Chain A
Amino acid sequence: MIGVINDKCDFCGTCVAVCPFDAIDLYEARIAINQRCTDCMLCVWICPVETLALIDEQGKMTPRAAAEFTA
């Protein structure tokens, strides 16, 4: 599952544009991952400011930006 750090997000839509599954919804000042997400990681890798990260089954974040995850 992909987690979002909304505090860091600039709502630029880059993650939406690279998502092959249409699994990210961008609102005015909020992004949300929907159930079409396959954890493919493309959005995590493209985000210029490390807003997105993978959460594993134990609820832990992968190394990238793990320390700042609050949501």
Chain B
Amino acid sequence: MQSDYDVIVVGAGPGGSWAAKTAAEKGAQVLLLEKDREVGVPVRCGEAIGTASLRAVCEPEPLPRGIANGISGAVLVAPNGREVVLDWGQEVGAILDRKVFDYELSLMAAAQGVEIRTKAYVYDVIRNGANGNGSISGVRVQHLGKNYDVRAKIVIGADGIESRVGRFAGLRTFTKLKDMESCMQVTLANVTNIDRRYIYLLFGREVAPGGYLWIFPKSETVANVGIGISGEYARHKSAQRYLQEFIDRRFPKAAAVYTVVGGVTCAPTLEKIVADGVMLVGDAAHQINPMSGGGIVTAMLAGKIAGRVAAAAIARDDFSSQSLEPYAQEWHAAQGKNHERLYKIKQAVYKFTDDELNRTAEAVLAKKPEERTLINVFKAALIRHPSLIFDVLKVFMS
């Protein structure tokens, strides 16, 4: 480890690796720090992804390894058990093996000359100014029993929902309780009666209030079974209890081979994602689709923009927040705006009573199978919220 870099990226998830890779590609000297001993572990993710958007964000690179199973449809399950099958007739999504996927992305970053350290815990930042209260100019890292001061022109915090970098930089990173989904997932072996081509999303107050329960098949007999419930409801009963009840009921014979818990911020992007010498990427910046809770591709997209903007800022030797602001603007145009619309839609949909959800399912089932599309599901759901239909159309057009 040198004592000086152009860019330090904190966190080697997809957002961090992609930011590091892009910045290095554009000529920056980059150090990527991961607090855990291995990139990709522990997995904190449902692992579902849209293939087209993944392909687009990886361009010109090929799709990385780590795709476990192709997905060509979704089964939406209403509270009364009625199933709406949306079949795209071709592979549109995938369930990943994040352990492999994240590792592959870090290798792609390394191939561009990014230096990577695991078991490297950033416990503080270095600041400019005589009193140590100026802007951030590096990080303090604990690595294999030693402490290091490492300087950088730009620090990119891709360090997840608890983002320490964001807090150090004085950015308001905390999530309101109602916007935080309390989540738990178990990877189950010996699951029965699932179609591996489909993801299953279950809705309802008894099943997953203010969120949904998911079954994401990784093979014929293995699936990620997880739940996210809004913080508003989690206070009455925890995600763990909801999930355990479901698994006992639906997959009593299955074996749990991996358990993961975590939070997913379902809110618009943070108001400020840059500061002097600092950029936030991915979960740290709340760059998660507020409707689906998906954040892999969005983090990679943000990382790609951030990496490019960082390299350009270094080339002109200006690391002020103003110089980094194009990152925030480009992100807003690319996805941030969409997330604001999705957030409005989510707020309406997640307040639905079970009756409203059941009625929506019936309305979609009344249509011909070829008309059972995601956009029509939203249209049926929001029939009493006409102002939101515009947002739905906007989201689907972009």
Q: By the criterion CB–CB under 8 Å, are A46 and B174 in contact?
A: no
A46 to B259, alpha carbons, bound, how many Å? 18
In the complex, identify which listed stretch (B21-29, B175-183, B296-304) lies at the interface while the others stay far away: B175-183
A45 touches B239 (CB 8 A): no
| Least CB separation from A24: chain B residue | B162
Considering only CB atoms and an 8 Å cut-off, how many residues of chain A contact the other chain? 22
- CA distance in complex: A10, B240 (Å): 12
A19 touches B121 (CB 8 A): no
B244-286 vs A, Cβ < 8 Å mask (1 yes, 0 no): 0000000000000001111101000000000000000000000
Interface residues on B, range: 20 to 34
Q: Are A14 and B263 in contact (CB under 8 A)?
A: yes
Q: Shortest Cβ distance from B299 into chain A, in angstroms? A: 15
The B133-178 residues at the A interface (CB cut-off 8 A) are 160-163, 167, 173-177
Bitwise, B13-40 to A at CB < 8 A (1) or not (0) is: 0000000000000000000000110000
Please indicate the chain B residues that have their CB under 8 angstroms from the CB of A48 in the complex.
182-184, 234, 238-240, 261-263
Is B180's CB under 8 angstroms from A10's CB?
no
CA distance A26 to B160 in the complex (A): 12
CB distance from B32 to the nearest CB of A (A): 18
CB-CB under 8 A from B163, the residues of chain A are 17
Asked whether A45 and B174 contact (CB < 8 A) given A13-B263, A17-B162, the answer is no
* Cα A17 to Cα B231 with chains together (Å): 12
In Å, the complex CA distance between A8 and B177 comes to 21
Closest to B142 in A: A28
Tell which of A13, A22, A46 touches B182, judged by Cβ atoms closer than 8 Å: A46
Contacts of B231 in A (CB 8 A): 18, 42, 45-46
Residues of B within 8 A of A18 (CB): 174-177, 180, 231, 263
With A12-B44, A13-B162, A16-B162: A46-B177 Cβ-Cβ less than 8 Å = yes
Contact partners of A20 in chain B: CB under 8 A: 174
**A14-36 vs B: 1/0 string, CB under 8 Å?**
10111110100011100000000
A22 to B166, CA, bound (A): 12
**B235 an interface residue at 8 Å Cβ cutoff?**
yes
Contact B262 A50 (CB under 8 A): no
- Asked if A66 is an interface residue, CB under 8 A from chain B, the answer is no
A47 to B163, CA, bound (A): 17
Contact of A12 among B36, B234, B238, B262 (CB under 8 A): B262
User: Which residues on B sit within 8 Å (CB–CB) of A27?
Assistant: 121
B173 near A17: Cβ-Cβ < 8 Å: yes
Q: Give 7 new A-B contacts, CB below 8 A, not counting A14-B182, A18-B175.
A: A10-B261, A14-B162, A18-B176, A18-B231, A22-B174, A48-B183, A48-B234
23 contacts between A and B (CB under 8 A): A10-B259, A12-B260, A13-B262, A14-B180, A14-B263, A17-B175, A17-B180, A17-B265, A18-B231, A20-B174, A22-B167, A28-B35, A45-B231, A45-B235, A46-B263, A47-B182, A47-B238, A48-B183, A48-B263, A49-B184, A49-B239, A49-B261, A50-B238
Interface of B toward A, CB cutoff 8 Å: 35-36, 42, 44, 121, 160-163, 167, 173-177, 180, 182-184, 231, 234-235, 238-240, 259-263, 265
